[in-house]
Structure formats: C-alpha cells, structure tokens
Amino acid sequence: MKRVLSIQSHVVFGCAGNSAAVFPMRRMGLEVWPVNTVQFSNHTQYSAGWQGMVMPNGHIRQLMAGLADIGVLGQCDAILSGYLGSAEQGEEILAAVAHLKALNPNARYFCDPVMGHPDKGCMVAPGVADFLKNRALACADLLAPNLLELEQLTGREICNLSEALAACQQLREGGVELVMVKHLGRAGLSLDRFEMLLVCEEGAFHISRPLYEFQRQPIGVGDLLSATMLANLLAGFTPVAAFERTNASVDAVLAQTWLAGAYELQLVAAQQAMVEPEIRTCARRLPA
C-alpha cells in the first residue's frame, strides 16, 4: 500500500483542501496522513464568511518530528501540498520533503501551487505566491497549476494552447518531471469544454470534459484533481492513463454534483464512479 502525506487546508463543512482530497485518495487505495495548514468552518467563498484559524508556525515541523520519532516517516511515498496559511508553513513543508527524501529517495513531492484567485474570493497570505515561485518550484517533482498559476510561475502571459505548452516546457526544463495544467480556461481550444494539459517525459497531451451550468461553481475541484492524479500515479498507471482516469473521475463527481443541484462536491454519492471511472475521452497527443 502506498502512503501519502497530504498537507493542505481543511474545512469542517464541505469539500476543499484535505476535505476534498483525503476521502478520494483513501477510496482509491492509498493510506493518507492528513496535515492541516488551516482549519476553517467552511471554504472562504461563502458570502457569510467563515470562522477558524491558520495553524501556527512550527505545527508542521512538530508533526513531522513526531512521525520521524516513531519510525514511520520513511514509509511515506509522496507529499502532496496545497493551500498554505503562510509562507513559513511552506518552508516547513520543504524541510519535510528533504527529510523524507533522505529516508526514502524514491519519494515524490507533488505541489499544487495555490496562489489565490481574488476574483473568485480565494486569497492567500502575503509571501505565499513568492514562496511557491521562488522556493517550492525548485523542489517539486510533480506540479499542478491552473492557468493563472502557470502564468505566475513562469512570468508569461498565456493566451493559447501553444503558449501554455511553452510555459510547461519551461517548467520541465527547470527540473519538474510532470506538469498538469488543471484548467486551461481562455488558453484552451473551446469555450464549451473544460480542458486540461499534461506535459511529461512521454510528451504533451490535451484532454477535455463537459462543462456543467452550475448556479454557483463548486469549490475544491482543483484539490480533487491533484489528489486523484497523484493516487492514479501511485497506483502504477502511466502518466497518460492517470491523466485520463483523473479527468473521468472528476467528471463523474461534477456530473453527480450538478444533478443534485449542489454547491459542495458530491464525493460520497459519486464515489464508485470516481474510483472506477468510465473513460469517455482519451488524451490527445500534441505535436512536439
């Protein structure tokens, strides 16, 4: 059994951060060790606001020391990081990655670089975006930015698929093994499909799924995408097969959420289709 340290936000109600990632990864056969960077009552895009706290500096370091003390840290196969409550937490995560790789050189670091989206109400603490660009990027083996994050990480304006591909290649040249762009948005080929891009050693691949007309777009889809992709990779699927399965799994969850007329992702209701996805769309190889 593969084991993952999932270090990201947690909400008591709903699905975001670890609340969107831990259950799917466990249902897909992983042993997941969740570490929360923040604990909020609900995600931050509710109009009534939220309650909760950012975990204090030193919290992650203490938990990693405890895992090392009982001799289990080296059994971990990957660290997945997401929303950070502070740049200092990011440094603690990088220290955990370095410690883990010293114990298990085959372990991978999957970075979901949550850099904030003010227009959608997603905010990050000062210094987090700079930390992700200037510190985390150099340590990441696997990376899952959205289009805005891809632009910030590479310093490029990206308006089409070719420019997105060039940005991913830039990250690959910098040492990242695999880049999955979770949402191409305006850089995609069609406005009526949700499109993603994968760039890895095998080449570059494009895939899409239906767009659903939600009254309010569900939150946590990116967290679900990263978690599902990592779970498929650790299950032994090739990057392209993992990409196709991830696309299908998330589509199943969103279809169920849309049918239910829900705002929060319907992970429990869609769990079987999520774990055993029906591949309706294959990834298309892009020209080199």
- The CATH code of the domain that includes 181 is 3.40.1190.20
Query: Is 144 annotated in some ligand binding site?
Result: yes
Query: Is 9 annotated in some ligand binding site?
Result: yes
Query: Is 130 annotated in some ligand binding site?
Result: no
124, pLDDT greater than 80: no
Query: Is 154 annotated in some ligand binding site?
Result: no
Q: How confident is the model at residue 191 (pLDDT cuts 50, 70, 90)?
A: confident
Surface-to-core class of residue 48, CB atoms within 10 Å of its CB (0-12 exposed, 13-18 middle, 19+ buried):
exposed
Query: Is 248 annotated in some ligand binding site?
Result: no
Over residues 201-254, the pLDDT tens digits come to 999 999 999 999 999 999 999 999 999 999 999 999 999 999 999 999 999 999
119, pLDDT greater than 60: no
Over residues 27-80, the pLDDT tens digits come to 999 999 999 999 999 998 898 999 999 999 999 999 999 999 999 999 999 999
pLDDT score at 134: 95
Give the pTM. Answer: 0.96
Range of the domain at 154: 3-285
Query: Is 192 annotated in some ligand binding site?
Result: no
pLDDT score at 137: 96
Strand duo 142-143 + 108-111: pairing: parallel
Query: Is 112 annotated in some ligand binding site?
Result: yes
Percentage of residues of the chain with pLDDT beyond 70? 97
pLDDT score at 122: 59
Number of separate domains in the chain:
1
Query: Is 208 annotated in some ligand binding site?
Result: no
